[in-house]
Structure formats: C-alpha cells, structure tokens
Amino acid sequence: MTAAALAAELGVSERTLYRDIAELSAQGAPIAGEAGVGYVLRPGLFLPPLMLSGDETEAIVLGLRYVDQRGDDILSHAAREALAKVGAVLSPAAQEALRNPVALPGPGGWGFPANIVDLNLLRAAIKAQAKLAIVYENADAVRTERIVWPIALGFASEARVLIAWCEMRQAFRTFRTDRIAAADRRGRYPGRRAALLDAWRAKALSKRAAS
C-alpha cells in the first residue's frame, strides 16, 4: 500500500506514518518500502507487546505445551521457542499465568509409533504441493502403492496421520505415518492446497453433522 493510502485509512498525516513505519521497522517488523510501489509487509515473525488476559495466556501456554509434547522434533522446538518469545513480551500480570498455569497438558514421557519415512519429507511435500508415491501398510499388514496429494499432518491421540487426496480411492484419506513404508516425491499436483483443505474440512463437517 502507498503511504498516502495508509495515512488516509489510519487518519494520520503522511509525516506521522513515515515516523511510525520507521519505528516499526526498528522494532523488527519486516516492512519494505519502494518508490512507486509503497510499503510491503513481508512474511516473517514480528511479535509486538502482547496485552493478554489471564485466560488468553492460559490458552496459549496450554496449546504450546501440548505441541511441545505431541509434535515432532521441529514442532516441539518451535513451540518452546514461541513460548519463550511470548513470555518475554507478556505484561507482569500475565506472567503469573505463564509461571503457574491452571491448565496443564497432562503427563509426558509417552511417544508415538516410530516412522519409517521422515516427517520432514512429508512436510516438504505438503508445502510444495507435490504428489507423493507411497507404499502403505494397513492394520492387516497388507501393502498397497498409491499416489496421494498431501495437504496436512494430523496429530491424533495415538498416532500421527497424513491427510491427503488419494488418486486410487478418488477421495480424501488419512494415512498413519508409522504405516507409510516408503514415500517418493513426484511433480506438483493440480489445483491449490488451500482449496483442497477447504474441501476436506467441508467433508469432515458434513460427516459430523450426519452423525
């Protein structure tokens, strides 16, 4: 957006806007400015001081600690880093909810079944919107070869699952990641991952409504 458009929307002068943009950039906001283009907020982490209630702090802390326990190595590390960053900008009143939470995620120390295929390969295929050729073994130890369009990883209570469109079944399916015996990345699948996620959510909602 241009400085003039931003200033008009915020009800301030362009001079004030320039000053505020410079202050935000100094604090770490990934804002780029270019003549003829205006200001662009680039992707990246920028966490301003948080004004959270005690209950909101409880919810965030519980969620991050739950991810720390149940996520894979990458998500667990990210959850710990995020919790440290949130804690660094909380108000003094909210710090008490961080140090002594009312809600806890439950005992740790348990794990998921081991995976043969690295979750990083699945995560990379999801982000790249790439097809996967997988060898999948069901509960009866019967193996099938499938081409799937991966759209998300799910962390259920007893296992991790890959949510994908299955070309063989012509439908959405979930595959336990510990039962994926092999996975080979192929070319990009048609359409957009966001649209597939919307379709999967709609199907899940209709199933719940029907039950």
Residue-wise pLDDT for 35-80, tens only, equals 777 888 877 655 555 667 778 888 888 999 888 888 888 899 999 9
For residue 27, is pLDDT > 90?
no
For residue 105, is pLDDT > 60?
yes
In a domain, 15, yes or no: yes
SS3 of residue 3 by DSSP: helix
In a domain, 191, yes or no: yes
Let me know whether 26 and 70 are in one domain: no
Alpha carbon distance 118, 113 (integer Å)? 13
List Cα–Cα distances, 74 to 30, 44, 79, 145, 183, in angstroms.
23, 17, 9, 28, 20
Structural domain boundaries, residue 124: 119-210
Terminal-to-terminal C-alpha distance of the chain: 47
Here the tokens at position 33 are: 């400015």
Q: Which residues pair with 154 in a beta bridge?
A: 161
Let me know whether 13 and 84 are in one domain: no
Closest CA to 149 of 115, 177, 180, 173: 173
Q: What is the pLDDT of residue 90?
A: 78
Let me know whether 176 and 204 are in one domain: yes
Residue type, 128: A
For residue 109, is pLDDT > 60?
no
pTM value > 0.85: no
Q: What is the pLDDT of residue 45?
A: 57
Let me know whether 83 and 155 are in one domain: no
In a domain, 114, yes or no: no
Let me know whether 152 and 188 are in one domain: yes
Let me know whether 146 and 67 are in one domain: no
In a domain, 127, yes or no: yes
Let me know whether 134 and 202 are in one domain: yes
Let me know whether 32 and 59 are in one domain: no
Average pLDDT over residues 157-167: 91
Q: Indicate the number of domains in the chain.
A: 3
In a domain, 33, yes or no: yes
Q: CA 105, 109, 112, 115 torsion: positive or negative?
A: positive
Let me know whether 124 and 93 are in one domain: no
